[in-house]
């Protein structure tokens, strides 16, 4: 990617209006104290205890909580989802922890690609946790909970077996799956509990009859008594049945009764359990009372026998409670890691090369290269020149929303098509309305596919401390800020970054943002004052390892004062405020900071003057230019007004804009040629790979055919041609005649072979021609 370099011009080229703002900024700079390396220039006193609050506000501005929810949705268990949110929400992690999290995610990606699945949806972690709590308190185990524990152990055993099979296939998988390899292999899988539970508990959580002899007898007695009661009730109902009464058997509190829907007396005596004009009367026949009492006692014996079985199973689990509890923690942790991996794969993320910023000079002091990034690093020799390198980066929440809308739109088309085929939409849409609705849905899909989110190229050189982005509203400046902030948070918390390879991101100790119209209403602060308070807190708390994102710096007040204040703020951050500061602005004066301070760099949001719309692309190394007068002219505003505006603006600014236009055109042309060159480079690599494959096939074909006696073969180790005397194919050997000597050689030692036959020449006129060469190549 082209990054333009500029030299300072000895001749001032800015207008009188701009000169006054620069002068104001210079006066402000001279008035404020120059900070030493360890001082913190203040824009207002800020309590250091508010650091957590400032970071929390920044995360809220970046909508980090929404991204955490999106990643957590890929977890398979309830506790896994909660743990995923908790892990991602805790952004205060050390550099080595960030490295470990990324290594875990990369290992999970490899496991998924291998086919391990890592599907934890069948594990009910809530029930397993409840079972552990019950058993730890000495309470009997619930049958459903026991089934959940068995499921936990079985999924762990399946993962272990899959891993062992992979290692048996190729020992290299051990390192590729690290650190998950050791985590899985170290897990203790209790097969004894599984076997015991499966003997006692059914898949639905009920205790099996075979779990104990007492339970089998009690359940048999219950079935016998229930059968007797059903027969008795059926007999009574049939005896009482007539045209005016309606009787039916029902159960009240576990006792068999008869429901009578009329008020007249019955032929059997009974106990009235309840009555009602509409619901009828519930009668327990006197003849059924002894059987009901006996049934209740039998059922109590069943419950007691079941509790004894579950109590024994609880004792079995208690003996292995530590292993099961540890296994639950491992599965939850794996679920969290897998959620990060599945999210990264679903959105085609890239493993980030994350490095620790060095205080001195801002040079990288340590970096992480693993998995896919290893090849990327070697294929990009100039990669070390970047402080931050995120080519073709997507805002994760915008991409998620677009893909969801596209998925829903396609689903609507499929559903509508199926409905039309089924019944032509029936009563809902009739006639041509159905086709019109379907056409509208298809158009919606087409529009979404066409209007795919535009990725942003984020590339900042290592000697840049402050990047100033200028451009029109809705042009993508704020989205670019949030993309950098979210990408940095993703890399820090173990997520792949939604960008093209290679990706290089510093590990920031804090990511601070002042974006949008966030303000403290409780403190009755205006928008301008709210921004200043936030910037003051950020300036006080940021370090030489922090990322600072400022949106529309200096806005909300008088343009001249705002520009001067914005310049002073950015110069403060450039000196000792942060490792990297990215600011957006409408103040054209701020783009001149680059020509006064090498720590600054310019970028602008591209604007298409023909369509009068932003392209959402960033042009690096190019300062933004004003488009207001040109837009007014294209919108056919009165030419007198347009000319007057140009005169008031001054010729100097017009000349600056012309220079910027030329730079933008050059930049655009360079990008087109660069993309064309990259295209041909890819083609040449593909052709080279194809040639290598073809060459190998030809070589393999030439070397492995088995010769026969009389063939001439070449032996590379001897450097000579020899004649085959005998072939011992079963031994993989041949005997050859080399001069007066006979040698025994391996077939693999033969490089090429040819059939030795006589040559027959025929003469046509004065030109001899070969009618048969007799050379047979393998």
* pLDDT tens for each residue of 89-127: 999 999 999 999 999 999 999 999 888 778 999 999 999
Q: Is the confidence at residue 285, as pLDDT, over 90?
A: no
Distance, CA of 666 to CA of 4 (rounded, Å): 10
- Taking the CA atoms of residue 770, residue 771, residue 774 and residue 777 in that order, the dihedral angle to the nearest 10 degrees is 80
Distance, CA of 9 to CA of 2 (rounded, Å): 21
| 327: three-class secondary structure by DSSP | helix
Q: What are phi and psi of 412, to 5 degrees?
A: -65, -40
Comparing 270 with 57, the larger pLDDT belongs to: 57
Q: DSSP letter string over 126-190?
A: HHHHHHHHHHHHTPPPPHHHHHHHHHHHHHHHHHHHHHHHHHHH-TTHHHHTTTHHHHHHH----
Q: How confident is the model at residue 11 (pLDDT cuts 50, 70, 90)?
A: very low
Q: Is the confidence at residue 49, as pLDDT, over 70?
A: no
What does DSSP say about strands 720-728 and 733-738: parallel, antiparallel, or unpaired? antiparallel
For the ranges 382-396, 481-495, 683-697, the maximum mean pLDDT occurs at 481-495
Mean pLDDT check: name the lowest of 299-308, 329-338, 761-770: 761-770
Residues 6+ apart with CB under 8 A from 481: 469, 513, 515, 549, 551, 582, 584
Distance, CA of 78 to CA of 89 (rounded, Å): 17
pLDDT at 123: 93
What is the percentage of the chain residues whose pLDDT exceeds 70? Answer: 76
Q: What are phi and psi of 70, to 5 degrees?
A: -65, -40
Cα–chain-centroid distance for residue 442? Answer: 29
Distance, CA of 199 to CA of 312 (rounded, Å): 12
Cβ–Cβ < 8 Å for 382, 2: no
Distance, CA of 676 to CA of 671 (rounded, Å): 8
| Terminal-to-terminal C-alpha distance of the chain | 50
pLDDT at 730: 79
pLDDT at 162: 87
Q: What are phi and psi of 34, to 5 degrees?
A: -75, 120
Q: How confident is the model at residue 433 (pLDDT cuts 50, 70, 90)?
A: low
For the ranges 23-27, 519-523, 594-598, 657-661, the maximum mean pLDDT occurs at 594-598
Tell me what the mean pLDDT of segment 493-521 comes to.
83
Average pLDDT, the chain: 78
pLDDT at 332: 96
Class of domain 50-207+306-349 (CATH, top level): mainly alpha
Distance, CA of 630 to CA of 612 (rounded, Å): 10
Mean pLDDT check: name the lowest of 81-95, 372-386, 445-459, 646-660: 372-386
pLDDT at 594: 83
Neighbours of 297 (CB within 10 A): 13
Distance, CA of 199 to CA of 197 (rounded, Å): 5
pLDDT at 24: 41
Q: How confident is the model at residue 629 (pLDDT cuts 50, 70, 90)?
A: confident
pLDDT at 85: 96
Mean pLDDT check: name the lowest of 126-130, 192-196, 281-285: 281-285
Q: Which fold has domain 456-517+528-623?
A: Rossmann fold (3.40.50)
Distance, CA of 772 to CA of 758 (rounded, Å): 9
Residues 6+ apart with CB under 8 A from 203: 147
Q: What are phi and psi of 583, to 5 degrees?
A: -130, 145
What does DSSP say about strands 353-357 and 281-285: parallel, antiparallel, or unpaired? unpaired
Verdict on whether the full-model pTM lies above 0.85: no
Strands lying side by side in the sheet with 752-755? 741-746, 733-738, 720-728, 711-715, 752-755
Mean pLDDT check: name the lowest of 150-164, 166-180, 291-305: 166-180
pLDDT at 37: 37
Tell me what the mean pLDDT of segment 382-407 comes to.
87
pLDDT at 511: 94
pLDDT at 50: 72
Q: How confident is the model at residue 592 (pLDDT cuts 50, 70, 90)?
A: confident
Q: DSSP letter string over 439-505?
A: HHHHHHHHHHHHTPPPPEEEEEETT-SEEEEE--TTSSHHHHHHHHHHHHHHHHTTPPBSSPSP-EE
pLDDT at 656: 56
For the ranges 129-133, 626-630, 728-732, the maximum mean pLDDT occurs at 129-133
pLDDT at 689: 87
Q: Is the confidence at residue 768, as pLDDT, over 50?
A: no
pLDDT at 647: 81
Distance, CA of 27 to CA of 511 (rounded, Å): 31
Class of domain 213-304 (CATH, top level): mainly alpha
Cβ–Cβ < 8 Å for 174, 183: no
């Amino acid at each position: 990617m082209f990054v333009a370099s500029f030299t300072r011009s000895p001749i001032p080229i800015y207008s009188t209006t701009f000169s006054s703002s620069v002068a104001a900024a210079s006066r402000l700079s001279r008035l404020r104290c120059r900070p030493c390396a360890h001082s913190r220039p203040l824009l207002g006193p800020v309590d250091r205890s508010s650091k957590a609050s400032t970071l929390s506000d920044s995360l809220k501005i970046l909508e980090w909580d929404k991204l955490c929810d999106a990643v957590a949705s890929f977890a398979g268990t309830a506790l896994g989802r909660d743990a995923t949110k908790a892990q991602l929400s805790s952004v205060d992690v050390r550099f080595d922890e960030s490295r470990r999290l990324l290594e875990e995610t990369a290992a999970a990606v490899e496991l998924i690609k291998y086919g391990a699945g890592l599907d934890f949806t069948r594990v009910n972690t809530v029930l397993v946790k409840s079972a552990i709590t019950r058993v730890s308190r000495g309470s009997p185990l619930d049958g459903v909970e026991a089934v959940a524990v068995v499921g936990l152990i079985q999924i762990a055993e399946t993962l272990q077996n899959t891993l062992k099979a992979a290692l048996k296939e190729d020992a290299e998988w051990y390192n590729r799956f690290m650190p998950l390899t050791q985590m899985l292999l170290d897990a203790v899988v209790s097969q004894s509990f599984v076997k015991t539970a499966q003997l006692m508990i059914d898949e639905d959580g009920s205790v099996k009859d075979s779990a104990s002899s007492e339970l089998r007898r009690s359940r048999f007695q219950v079935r016998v008594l229930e059968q007797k009661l059903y027969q008795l009730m059926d007999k009574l109902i049939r005896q009482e049945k007539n045209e005016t009464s309606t009787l039916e058997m029902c159960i009240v509190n576990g006792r068999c009764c008869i429901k009578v829907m009329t008020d007249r007396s019955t032929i059997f005596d009974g106990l009235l359990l309840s009555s009602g004009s509409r619901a009828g009367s519930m009668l327990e026949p006197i003849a059924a009372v002894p059987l009901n009492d006996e049934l209740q006692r039998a059922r109590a014996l069943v419950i007691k026998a079941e509790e004894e079985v579950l109590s024994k199973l609880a004792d079995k689990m208690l003996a292995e409670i530590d292993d099961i509890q540890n296994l639950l923690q491992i599965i939850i942790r794996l679920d969290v890691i897998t959620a990060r991996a599945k999210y990264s794969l679903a959105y085609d993320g890239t493993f980030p090369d994350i490095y620790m910023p060095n205080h001195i000079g801002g040079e990288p002091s340590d970096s992480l290269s693993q998995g896919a990034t290893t090849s990327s690093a070697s294929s990009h020799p100039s990669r070390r020149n970047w402080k931050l390198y995120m080519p073709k980066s997507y805002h994760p929440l915008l991409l998620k929303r677009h893909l969801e809308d596209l998925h829903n739109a396609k689903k609507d088309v499929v559903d509508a098509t199926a409905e039309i085929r089924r019944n032509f939409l029936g009563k809902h849409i009739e006639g041509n309305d159905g086709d019109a609705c379907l056409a509208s849905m298809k158009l919606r899909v087409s529009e979404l596919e066409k209007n795919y989110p535009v990725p942003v190229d984020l590339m900042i050189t290592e000697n840049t401390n402050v990047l100033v982005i200028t451009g029109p509203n809705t042009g993508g400046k704020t989205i670019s800020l949030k993309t950098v902030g979210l990408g940095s948070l993703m890399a820090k918390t173990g997520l792949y970054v939604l960008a093209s390879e290679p990706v290089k991101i510093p590990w920031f100790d804090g990511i601070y943002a002042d974006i949008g119209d966030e303000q403290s209403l409780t403190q009755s602060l205006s928008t301008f004052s709210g921004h200043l308070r936030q910037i003051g807190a950020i300036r006080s708390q940021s370090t030489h390892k922090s990322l600072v994102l400022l949106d529309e710096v200096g806005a909300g007040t008088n343009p001249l004062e705002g520009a001067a204040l914005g310049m002073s703020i950015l110069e403060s951050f450039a000196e000792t405020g942060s490792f990297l500061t990215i600011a957006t602005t409408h103040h054209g004066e701020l783009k001149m900071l680059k020509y006064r301070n090498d720590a600054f760099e310019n970028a602008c949001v591209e604007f298409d003057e023909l369509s009068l719309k932003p392209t959402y692309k960033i042009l690096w190394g190019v300062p933004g230019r004003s488009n207001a007068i040109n837009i007014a002219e294209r919108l056919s505003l009165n030419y007198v007004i347009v000319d007057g505006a140009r005169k008031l603006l001054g010729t100097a600014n017009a000349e600056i804009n012309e220079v910027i236009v030329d730079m933008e055109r050059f930049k655009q042309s360079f990008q087109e040629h660069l993309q064309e060159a990259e295209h041909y480079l890819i083609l040449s690599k593909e052709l080279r790979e194809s040639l290598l494959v073809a060459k190998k096939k030809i070589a393999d074909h030439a070397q492995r055919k088995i010769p026969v006696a009389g063939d001439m073969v070449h032996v590379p180790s001897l450097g000579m041609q020899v004649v085959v005397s005998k072939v011992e194919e079963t031994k993989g050997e041949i005997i050859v005649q080399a001069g007066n000597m006979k040698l025994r050689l391996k077939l693999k030692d033969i490089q090429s072979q040819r059939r030795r036959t006589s040559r027959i020449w025929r003469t046509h006129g004065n030109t001899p021609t070969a009618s048969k060469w007799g050379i047979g190549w393998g």
